Amino acid sequence: MPPRFAPTLLPLVALALAGCTTVGPAGSADRAATASAAATVRSSVTAPAGVPSAATPSAAAPRALTAAALRAAALAGQDLAPGWTVTVVTPGQGSAGPASAEHETSDVPACQPVLDAIGPANPTGEPTAETDLSLTRAGAPGADVYAALLAYPPGRAALLQSLLDQVLARCGTFTSTATGTGSRKGAKTQHRLARADTPTPEGADGATAFTLTSGSTTPGDPGVAALSQDATVVRVGTALAVFSTVGSGKEPAAAPDPAVVLAQTRKLRAAQG
């Protein structure tokens, strides 16, 4: 599944420690809990009292960003060191992005939020606004970063990150099916997922990093060779910023450049000040 953002870690150490390196078909109780959580994400505009979140660095409550404000808060070339080029792209267009007519549906409902976080046809939790960026650095093709800036009503971003953290604790190996109207409809992809340690950037309220290694299990399917993705999801007030890189089975993706992550985090914080 070539993505819109890009996530991978190799061994599933974190999930193994949690005692959940492989997710099988969910039981009825698990399916009910997952469906309830998903429904909460779609319908609630404020996080419930029990959802953990980090303290907001700013004294004032962060405001929801309009599409124009989100676009204005996006990185530009002058915000980074010489050699970087920043291009605004159509959502889902990334360098390895699939056609928008296709999206991936997890065969294990509990793992669907992982695909929603990185899939071009499945915007994470239906944001109210989105700006996507392609960042390239001259002479360093392996450093390319794809970034998606997603705006939400107050409370929604914290709830989504909490849900993502829960999913990363239970999904180690799972499969998905390509649905929609694209040429890969019906093709199966196997995914291996692992959480990665990452510091919370200055000015952010939280950060989650994970890697995803995917490969098609359908004979003759040209859409998914062995693909490695590395993603960092940063929460800044009412917005989420997803930074990702793409690699292959032989050359795993590197973590997104910390300078890019920090610069974008600061601009999102300033926009909500």
- Look at residue 256 and tell me whether its pLDDT is greater than 80: yes
Give CA–CA dist 13/19, Å, rounded: 10
Closest residue by Cα to residue 64 from 156, 152, 150, 132: 152
Domain boundaries, given as residue ranges, for the chain: 13-27+63-271
With 60 as the cut, is the pLDDT of residue 13 above it?
no
Domain 13-27+63-271 of CATH type 3.40.1000.70: yes
Residue 220 has pLDDT above 70, yes or no: no
The answer to whether the predicted template modeling score (pTM) of the entire model surpasses 0.75 is no
Q: Kindly report, residue by residue over 158-207, the tens digit of the pLDDT.
A: 998 888 888 888 888 888 888 876 677 888 888 888 899 999 999 999 99
Q: What is the pLDDT of residues 53-107, one digit of tens each?
A: 334 444 567 788 999 999 999 999 999 999 999 999 976 544 334 444 567 888 8
Do 26 and 110 contact (CB within 8 A), yes or no? yes
Least confident of 13-22, 41-50, 58-67, 216-225: 13-22
Which residues, at least 6 apart from 196, have a Cβ–Cβ distance to it below 8 Å? 9, 14, 209, 210, 211, 230, 255
Other residues' Cβ atoms within 10 Å of the Cβ of residue 85 = 12
Whether the pLDDT of residue 230 is over 60: the answer is yes
pLDDT of residue 164: 83
pLDDT of the residue at 148: 92
Helices (H), the chain: 13-17, 28-43, 67-72, 112-118, 156-168, 258-271
3-state secondary structure of 235: strand
pLDDT at residue 237 tops 90: yes
Sheet holding 173-180, edge to edge: 84-89, 129-137, 145-151, 239-248, 227-236, 206-216, 188-196, 173-180, 102-106
Closest CA to 208 of 3, 7, 4: 7
